[in-house]
Chains A and B, each alone.
Chain A
Amino acid sequence: MPESTSEQLTIAMIEQRLLDFLVERTKIEWEVGQDLFESGVLSSLFAMELVVFVEKAFDVSIEREDLALANFRTVRAMTDLVLRLGKAADA
């Protein structure tokens, strides 16, 4: 069986990389279930930064319906997306 990124990357590792990026960019700490956009302070520009960060950091392509804000609202949602796209790439 080929080695797959999704098997190597644990949920905890993905979450940590996302949390590190968030703290670096927003200068505050976030919880994995916290809605990043609810306060209205983070912009659509920032949502796109998250898209390309996730693409690059986890070597996935985010296309079509996956480019939805709902997939980037929380660290948990982004983690699910990474796992799902990682699996799809291995299949």
Chain B
Amino acid sequence: MREDLPVIVTEAVGDAAGRWDLAGEIPLDLLRGLGGKGLLCPEIATQFGGLGLTGRECGELTAHVGSLCSSLRSVMTSQGMGAWTIWRLGDRTQREHYLRRLTAGELAAVAFSEPDAGSDLSAMSTRIREDGDTLVVDGVKTWITASVYADLLVVFGRYGDGGAAVIVPATSPGVRRDPAQSPMGCRAAGHATVTLDAVRVPRTNLLGAAGQSLAMLTTIALTCGRLSVAWGCVGILRACLAAAAAHARDRRQFGVPIARHQLVARHLAELYVAERTATLACERASDCWDAGSPDQFTGAVLAKLVASRAAAQGAATAVQVLASAGAQDGHVVARAYRDAKLMEIIEGSNEVSQLILADRVMGVGG
């Protein structure tokens, strides 16, 4: 990976992550600037204006972004998932047209979830139907990360007796975006409820074809999203480890640096174990992805489960070590604590991930 890529992100974020968290917003210009350098979907091939990183390199960059700001990393996850969906399901013209836009500063969000379809995406009721040479989209999508900022919404829905995804320009008539009020974490990631009321788009915006399975299509997008969230959690853990170690060295109580108290030292060891374990699970999953191995799908679920649990626990540990020094919104460990918890919910909750892995264990015959 080009050495300047993480540096560009570090400089763009500077010391602003805490302020973005408190304001609930990242400046749109900054997102467009990073997007225009291809940094928000770095796996996209150079022929489409992307950086052409491998999955493993993209993961390392994602972890770096996640160590600085989980809201920015969430925007990156949405952009990556949107671009990947277009690449995997689109035809040559769609790839050329839309991927170029997503590496030139336009932003994407991806919409599966609905009020009555969270873990159970088979309950999705958004409809995509044909009307002459246009498509009409009706539905309500909730908690759509980055949709406040997005130019393009990749919307999954029912199509005929199967499923499809459709690209909806966010400013199309009939699209309404209601920003989520005071989200608990990833506060500046631009979550919104997106209502689609008889939204008309050209037929050429359809990704996929008649007769496809909605579950297969969502698995394609979610596998990319799970890898990104998992690497983002590695970043959370790296930030927590650094903050806890620095504090344990500097803060003195009972006449010694608190790192010298064995119960604090154990916290540091646990954080290190969490960071290493999550990293190894992510590296393994990304290597499967890069190799085109069938194990990439359960590998991504495993990495996401391991890394999000490790991050939620690790962030709580880091807050414990910093105590009052970290007990303020906007502080790196306070953000980590709120952000990491939500990573145990999205892209397949812990429980849904466990069900998928249990399937894997059982095969069919048990």
Q: Which residues of A contact B (CB under 8 A)?
A: 21, 25-28, 39, 41-53, 55-56, 63-65, 67-70
Residues of B participating in the A interface, judged by any CB pair closer than 8 Å: 89, 91, 162, 208-213, 215-220, 223, 292-298, 301, 356, 359, 363-366
**Contact A44/B209 with A26-B365, A49-B294, A56-B293 known, Cβ cut-off 8 Å:** no
Contact residues in A for B210 (Cβ distance below 8 Å):
65
Across-interface contacts of A27 in B (CB, < 8 A): 363-366
Find chain A residues with CB under 8 A from B219 CB: 44-45, 47-48
A-B contact pairs, 16 of them (CB 8 A): A26-B363, A26-B365, A44-B219, A45-B219, A47-B219, A48-B216, A48-B297, A49-B295, A51-B216, A52-B292, A52-B294, A64-B91, A65-B210, A65-B212, A68-B209, A68-B213
Chain B residues with Cβ below 8 Å from A55 are: 292
Assembled-state Cα–Cα distance A13/B269 (Å): 52
Which A residue sits closest to B210, measured CB to CB? A65
- In contact, B365 and A28 (Cβ under 8 angstroms): yes
Task: State the CA gap A63–B216 with chains docked (Å).
Answer: 13
Residues of A within 8 A of B295 (CB): 49
Q: Could you say which residues of chain B place their CB within 8 Å of the CB of A39?
A: 364
Q: Complex: how many Å from CA A69 to CA B215?
A: 10
Given contacts A21-B294, A49-B295, A68-B211, 13 further A-B contacts (CB under 8 A): A39-B364, A43-B215, A44-B213, A44-B215, A45-B301, A47-B213, A48-B297, A50-B294, A53-B294, A67-B216, A68-B212, A69-B212, A69-B216
Q: In the complex, A51 Cα to B209 Cα: how many Å? A: 16
| Chain A residues within 8 Å of B215, by CB | 43-44, 47
Selected from B91, B213, B359, B365, the residue in CB contact (under 8 A) with A69 is B213
Q: A27-B364, A27-B366 are in contact. Are A45 and B298 (CB under 8 A)?
A: yes
Contacting residues, chain A, for B292 (C-beta < 8 A): 52, 55-56
Chain B min CB distance to A61 (Å): 11
In the complex, which residue of chain B has the Cβ closest to the Cβ of A72? B216
Complex contact B356–A45 (CB within 8 A): yes
Q: How far is A49 from B301 in the complex, measured between Cα atoms in Å?
A: 13
